[in-house]
Amino acid sequence: MEFQDSPFVVRVDARQCEVMVDGEVRKARMRGRLFENQCIDKAPVAVGDRVVLSGGASDLAIDKVLPRSNLFARRAAGDDADRRQILATNVDLVVVVNSLGMPAFSSIVADRMLAACSFAGIPALLVLNKIDQGKRGKLRKYEASYANSGADVLQTSATENIGVEELVAKLKGKTSVLYGLSGVGKSTLMNAIDPSLNLEVREASVSLQSGRHTTTFTRWYPLAMGGAMIDTPGVRKFRPFGIPPHELRLHYAEMRELGKECKYPACMHRGEPDCAVQKALDDGDFPPSRLRSYIEILNELEEAYGGTGSNEKPSGPDHKARN
């Protein structure tokens, strides 16, 4: 069976996929051979993958996944914690959504996702959503913390239609991934961007001080303005996968620049003599929350992949609002 355009995956569910074929969404199963010699990946096919299909109209099957230009991934949860969970492939932008309402803003969560974007070589946009529920002083503090992070920062309120036009301009013509904790307002933002999507939305859980899952699977959606958005289920925790511990410092843009002034070329910014990052921190020129998140992620990566540094947990609060 021949196709005019290269088919690509728009949804994955167990061994069953939905594939865009010549402008039409069709169901296709994964061939068993895709699971052979499967090592680090929890699943062999992800949303965004361009694939080779075989079979007829009623029995399409995915034979092969074509080479990917990039992939956005995290460490899988539970018993698969040593494996990679690919969230999306062949994308132009990752939109990291955080909230100034409920759930509370967390720099630890944002920094984990931004480090993963840098490691994947995918540009990132940090969206500070629900700004109508936050305090201006904290908002200015968060923006200042990420001014040199390498990620663009945008303020939005989906319910008040603040920043939506600016977000549309950044997404137009691109394939983007929308990612964040449960309840930060991803589905509401998508409806504001493109009302024709009409995605289900739910209020955050007051009793749990967190979000409820609205999206339960990753799905590709075309946007009326041009481009596409890959919506993902909200998560409780994000753990980067595959970053060598000694390279983590290179995925904090401001730390990478400051590190050029350290006494030791391979300074890990964890108590070494004449550390430029520590000096900038002492001078008030480096965000304390960014260093705390770096130390936390570094300890986690060393535990997973090996390392010689301290496993002492970072002290002090991160940028986490208290309701």
Q: What is the pLDDT of residue 207?
A: 42
218 and 186 Cβ atoms separated by less than 8 Å? no
166, 22: one domain: no
Sign of CA dihedral 102, 104, 110, 112: negative
Q: What phi and psi, each to the nearest 5 degrees, are found at residue 72?
A: -110, 125
The range of the structural domain enclosing residue 13 comes to 8-67
Closest alpha carbon to 11 in 43, 35, 45: 45
Last residue of a domain, one of 67, 90, 113: 67
Q: Give the per-residue pLDDT at 56.
A: 82
124 and 30, same structural domain? Answer: no
Same domain? For 152 and 210 the reply is: yes
Shared domain check, 61 and 78: no
Q: Based on the domain organization, do 222 and 90 belong to the same domain?
A: yes
Spatial CB neighbours of 158, under 8 Å, sequence gap ≥ 6: 129, 130, 164, 185, 188, 189, 191, 192
pTM higher than 0.85, yes or no? yes
Task: Check if the beta carbon of residue 143 is closer than 8 Å to that of residue 128.
Answer: yes
186 located within any domain = yes
Contact status, residue 245 vs residue 252, Cβ threshold 8 Å? no
- With respect to residue 319, please indicate whether it lies within any of the assigned structural domains: no
Any idea what the CATH number is for the domain that residue 44 is in?
Answer: 2.40.50.140
Radius of gyration of the chain (CA): 21
Question: Considering the domain boundaries, does residue 321 fall inside one?
Answer: no
Q: Give the model's pLDDT for residue 321.
A: 40
* Residue 134 bridge partners (DSSP): none
Positions of the chain with pLDDT under 70: 1-5, 202-216, 308-323
Q: Are residues 37 and 130 in the same domain?
A: no
- DSSP strand E in 103-244: where? 124-129, 152-155, 175-180, 219-222, 228-231
175 close to 204: Cβ distance less than 8 angstroms: no
In the listed set 44, 67, 90, which residue is the last one of a domain according to the structure?
67
Q: What is the pLDDT of residue 217?
A: 79
Question: Of the candidates 114, 115, 98, which has an alpha carbon nearest to the alpha carbon of residue 106?
Answer: 98
What is the rounded CA–CA span in Å between residue 48 and residue 258? 36
- Is 239 domain-assigned? no
Rounded to whole angstroms, how far apart are CA atoms 70 and 48?
10
Within a domain: residue 323? no
Q: Which of 197, 231, 265 is the last residue of a domain?
A: 231
Whether residues 58 and 40 share a domain: the answer is: yes
Query: Are residues 26 and 123 both part of a single domain?
Result: no
Shared domain for 217 and 95, answered yes or no, is yes
pLDDT, position 4: 52
Do 130 and 97 belong to one domain?
yes
Considering the domain architecture, whether residues 102 and 216 belong to the same structural domain is answered as yes
Listed in order, strand segments (DSSP E) in the chain are: 8-13, 16-21, 24-30, 51-54, 61-65, 71-75, 84-89, 93-99, 124-129, 152-155, 175-180, 219-222, 228-231
128 is a domain residue: yes
Residue 93 lies in a domain: yes
Q: Which of 145, 143, 174 is nearest to 156 (CA)?
A: 143
Confidence at residue 205, expressed as pLDDT on a 0 to 100 scale: 45
Structure tokens at 102: 């409920």
Partnered with residue 11 across adjacent β-strands are: 18, 219
Residue 85 belongs to some domain of the structure: yes
DSSP designation for 190:
H
**Structurally, how many domains does the chain consist of?**
3
Q: Domain check: are 293 and 157 in the same one?
A: no
* Cα 22 → chain centroid: 29
Residue 81: per-residue pLDDT: 84
Residue 278's CATH number = 1.10.40.50
